[in-house]
Amino acid sequence: MTTTPHWTSTPSAITLFTEDLEEAKAFYQRVFDLPTVFEGRTSAVFRFRDTLINILAIAQADELIRPAHAARPQDGVRAVYTLQVEDVDARCAELAARGVTLLNGPMDRPWGIRTASFQDPMGTIWELSAEL
């Protein structure tokens, strides 16, 4: 019998592409209240507990993903990143105070969680989630 290797429980890094690094960096600093752990000419990195979020200038994308191509934000959403929180409604109030407009929620989902979603300047969707 073959065993399946175990994957780590948390991704170590996620890279998001941006057309405007300064706008994206300001959004992450304002909305998530996080300092950068690295800043360079073409990227800014933030830490969400054990996961690094690397905001990378779109011009650098080809080097990482060739022969694939980075999609433009107007082409549609391809992923949602979920952050578990204690209180979705309280976090939504914090987001509103920071100038963030929700896409949806807060709402109770039939699978037993309360969620709300918002979008960053690059088109990435972030979902807040808490068990009911």
* CATH number of the domain bearing residue 111: 3.10.180.10
Q: Hey, what are 59's tokens? A: 């011009």
Query: What are the tens digits of pLDDT across the range 37-92?
Result: 999 999 999 999 989 999 999 999 988 888 888 888 888 887 889 999 999 999 99
Spatial CA neighbour of 83 closest among 29, 130, 27: 130
Pair 16, 61 in one domain: yes
Q: How many domains does the chain have?
A: 2
| Structural domain harbouring 95 | 79-132
pLDDT by residue (tens digit) across 98-116? 999 999 999 999 999 999 9
Based on the domain organization, do 85 and 132 belong to the same domain? Answer: yes
Two structure tokens written together for 130: 């808490």
Query: Is 6 inside a domain boundary?
Result: no
